[in-house]
Amino acid sequence: MRRREFITLLGGAAAAWPLAARAQQTERVRRIGVLVPFGESDPVLRTRITVFRDALAELGWVEGRNLRVDYRWAGDAGKLPGYAGELIAVMPDAIFVIGPEPAAALQRATRTVPIVFSNVSDPIGAGLISSLAQPGGNITGFASQEVALGAKRLELLKQIAPHVTRVACISDPSTPAWSGFFAEVEAAAPSLGLIVSAAPIRDAADIEATIDAFAREPNGGLMVFTSQAVVAHRDKIIALANQHRLPAVYGFRYFVAAGGLASYGIESVAPTRSAASYVDRILKGEAPGDLPIQFATKYELVINLKTAKVLGLDPPIYLLARTDEVIE
């Protein structure tokens, strides 16, 4: 290469370098909010947020580079309205939310800021949207089918604990999907020879009083419907169920990993991972009302054999054969 051509090339590269650097420095930073209905120390919810952040990074949205994220961890349900207002006040481009209670709090706070939810059982019943295919408005997301799983969980309880004849269905009655879930359970109970009853709880004192009273009669079992109060006090529910030798079926694997007997439900982090794709599409200009509600498609059956042994249960081979995970 001739000396003059080399100098020209070098000069062009030198001129281009600061332009590229300035372009990187001035890359537009987008802002999103994240509202979580539990305390920051909750390991299950921290895992979900990590999954969400990693999925966003895979889509090109990296905190500290082109994305700013404002987090609010509402360990107390009473803090949800205030935190929802705080997130709206910073004027984010979108907000990601886990669960029906915080989604409802955000809906009351804004009808314009795009909201993407995950792990909502019945978004229409909760009043968040009017159509699954065309949500309209500013809310969309990824739902679970927990309501439709009531009968299947009741059947699982009877299979794993045939002696059970009474079942208490534990949940916070203010949870939007609760009535639909309990209706499913009530309809399925007679064919399984079971009598079911609602067991409303709102705090730790309710949980202890309710389970202690139910355990006074024999042949009892529990169905635990996931809600903010249930997840927040899951260790207490599991401990009391095992202490009173009450077979219990839960909605998610993390209950069983913590010592619960069995669970049947969606793979809990999948909707959170998928929600990042909708946040990405909104940040790129799509309207939330045009993004259809999607439902989880992967389900998992998990049984804790150690807990079964403590409860004096011997799960049948045919049930273990179709179990996705056996914890020993």
187, two tokens: 């309809």
For the whole model, what pTM was predicted?
0.85
Q: Residue 177 and residue 121: Cα distance in Å, rounded?
A: 6
**What is the length of the chain?**
328
Tell me the pLDDT tens digit for each residue of 55-103: 999 999 999 999 999 999 987 778 999 999 999 999 999 999 998 889 9
- Delimit the domains of the chain by residue range: 30-145+268-298, 147-267+300-327
Residue 155 CB partners (closer than 8 Å, separation 6+): 188, 192
Residue pair 255/235 in contact by the 8 Å Cβ criterion: no
155, two tokens: 């059947």
pLDDT of residue 197: 97
pLDDT of residue 26: 54
In eight-state DSSP terms, residue 259 is T
Residue tagged 């229409």 (tokens) = 124
C-alpha distances (whole Å) from 95 to each of 76, 81, 139, 212 are 19, 14, 10, 40
Report whether CATH 3.30.465.10 matches the domain 147-267+300-327: no
Q: Residue 40 and residue 149: Cα distance in Å, rounded?
A: 29
In eight-state DSSP terms, residue 149 is G
Domains 30-145+268-298 and 147-267+300-327 share a fold: yes
Fold topology of 30-145+268-298: Rossmann fold (3.40.50)
pLDDT of residue 10: 43
- Beta-bridged to residue 72, according to DSSP, are 35
Residue pair 238/258 in contact by the 8 Å Cβ criterion: yes
**Dihedral (Cα; 183, 303, 222, 145), 10-degree rounding:** -20
163, two tokens: 């002696």
pLDDT of residue 180: 85
Closest among 159, 297, 126 to 227, alpha carbons compared: 126
In the predicted model, residues of the chain with pLDDT beneath 70 are 1-26, 146
